[in-house]
Structure formats: C-alpha cells, structure tokens
Amino acid sequence: MYKYLFYGLHLECDEAIFQLLPDDSDAPADIRFIKGGIPGWLRDKKDKPHYDFGPNESWLMNSTGWIYAINGDTVYYDDRLDADTGYDMLSYMTGYGISMVLMQRGMLPVHCSAVYGDEGAVIISGASGAGKSTVTSLFLDRGYELMADDIAAISVNEDNTVTLYPAFPYQKYCRDQADRRGLIDENAIYIDEEKDKFLVPVSNFRKEPAKVSRMIILSKADVTEVKCAELTGLSKLFAFSSNLFLSRLRGDWQKEPALMNECLKAASGFPISAIIRPSEGNSLPDIEKLIFNS
C-alpha cells in the first residue's frame, strides 16, 4: 500500500504513483484507490453511455479500462487485458478518477494550472494550445510557486472565500517549450507521444492550500491584438463551470442544481478575466502587461 498527500487529502493506493507527494503521517486515508473490484455490470457493459457522474456513484469506461468511484472515499480501477492505447490506468486515476471522487466530496476539480504568490492563488485556464503552460511560466519566473498543473481542486468556505488545494510538484511542457527553457534532462519524463509532452519536476512548489485571488481564462481567436474582459453574471458562471475537468464529458450531470450552486458560489468568490490572444504571432509581451499591470 502506497500513501500520498493529494489535494489536501490522505490517499492510499494499491500501486505507486511517482509524481505524488509521499504521506509519512499516521493519518487515516480519506480516499483509497483500489485495483480491481469493478462491478460486473460495468465490466460487461458494451453500449453507450461510457460514463456517468453522480453524488454517490460515478463511473467511466474506455479502451484502456474502467474507473468506479463511490461515496467520496473509494475509487476502483482496472486495465483491460487487451488494452493497447499507450496509456495506463494510473494516468487516468490522477485525472478522471480523482475528479470523480473530489466532486462526491463537494470539491470542484478545475482544468487549469495554479500558482501562488503574495496575492494568493491564481488559476490559469483555457483550451489546449491557448498558452496555459507559457503563462504559468511567466508567474513562476516572477517568483510565484506552482500549486497545480492540469487539475486544481477548490472548495467554497462558509465565508464565501474559495480555497485551492495543491496537486503535485510537476509541470507538463510541450517539447519546444521544454527545449527553450533547457528542461529536457535526466529528470524530465516523456509522457505523451501524441502531444509530444514532458513531465518536469518543479522545485518551487507550495504544499499548503491558499485562498484564490483570481482566475485567468485564455483563448485564441482570429483577432489582431490581445483583448481582455472582466466577466460578470451568467458569463462568469458558465466560463467557470465549462472549465471543470469533467466538463469535456457532457451530460445531464452538468445540470444538477447542487453542482451549479457550488459553481455559482465559487465563481462569485474571485474575479475572472477572459484573455483572447491572436491565433498567429507572439502576443506574450502584451499578455504579460495585462496580467501584471506593467
């Protein structure tokens, strides 16, 4: 049994997950990742849908295997014997598996990077290729600490402030970004042949939770200059909820009143800026001026 700290929770797993922070405490597990134990109805399922997310039971199946999360504290997983996808189930567990169980616990898993500075935690979100890693590096170069890459877990407090919990001290880079920053060495781990990405260890990592100060949502468009807008009202709510990690798997679960209420409270807890950058050319200097008011 392997023990880790993950999003402020004590995790026990049947297999080693190298990128997570080890837990040397005697605290009981909040969450368990258990290999096997997939219900027969799910293992035998052939037809659609291939996933469903609920407050007490969530599941997902794909060409690599199955994930089954229950009661906010247990996630079962298993590989298909004939899987030949180039992925293993543990990579899905640190994404989909943990997101399912976090939502069952009333936390919101956001698809983003997150950093920490004197202002608090900053969430950096956006579609693939929008520039999350590049903008995150701008913050790190200014002395901010990494809190999460790919997924951050947040919760809303009784005073309506929002707390962000740290993930693990690694950051993903595309090959060209890693090359430019001189990060491809014996510590870099090649993780994604399809997108040619590396997982790189980060030394300036914050292990403690922090209050969220703001959220930046990046996108590309056919524009001639960088544009920035502070979101309000329904635009702010939908921008936030569409960046939940599981939102790419659309379904009725997204309309659940309890989930929408949590999203509304979270989105009301901090300002959200939408930054649109030109699809072509180097707009990073202009983005940097907007983000840091320089």
Tokens of 179: 């090359």
Distance of CA 245 to the CA centre of its chain: 6
The CA distance from 219 to 238, in Å, is: 15
Single-letter code of the amino acid located at 230: E
The tens digit of pLDDT for each residue in 16-65 reads 999 999 999 999 999 999 999 999 999 999 999 999 999 999 999 998 99
The Cα angle at residue 178 between residues 98 and 145, in degrees rounded to 5: 55
Task: Supply the DSSP string of 14-73, one letter for each residue.
Answer: SS--TTSEE--S-PPPSEEEEES---HHHHT--SSP-EEE-SSEEEEE-SSEEEEEETTT
Q: What is the pLDDT confidence band of residue 269, given thresholds at 50, 70 and 90?
A: very high
Does residue 174 or residue 58 have the better pLDDT?
Answer: 58
Residue 214 has pLDDT above 90, yes or no: yes
Q: Residue 192's pLDDT is what? A: 65
> What's the confidence (pLDDT) of residue 196?
76
Could you state, in order of their start, the residue ranges of all structural domains in the chain?
2-105, 109-169+205-292
pLDDT of residue 35: 96
**pLDDT score at 220:** 93
- More confident call, 87 vs 185: 185
Nearest Cα to 266, choosing from 110, 128, 146, 117?
Answer: 110
CATH number attached to the domain at 109-169+205-292: 3.90.228.20
Is pLDDT above 70 for 174?
Answer: yes
Which pLDDT score, from 0 to 100, does residue 84 have? 62
- Residues of the chain with pLDDT > 90: what percent? 78
| Confidence grade of residue 83 (pLDDT, cut at 50, 70, 90) | low
Query: Angle, nearest 10°, between helix axes 284-292 and 132-141?
Result: 60
**pLDDT recorded at residue 4:** 97
- What pLDDT band is residue 130 in, cutting at 50, 70 and 90? confident
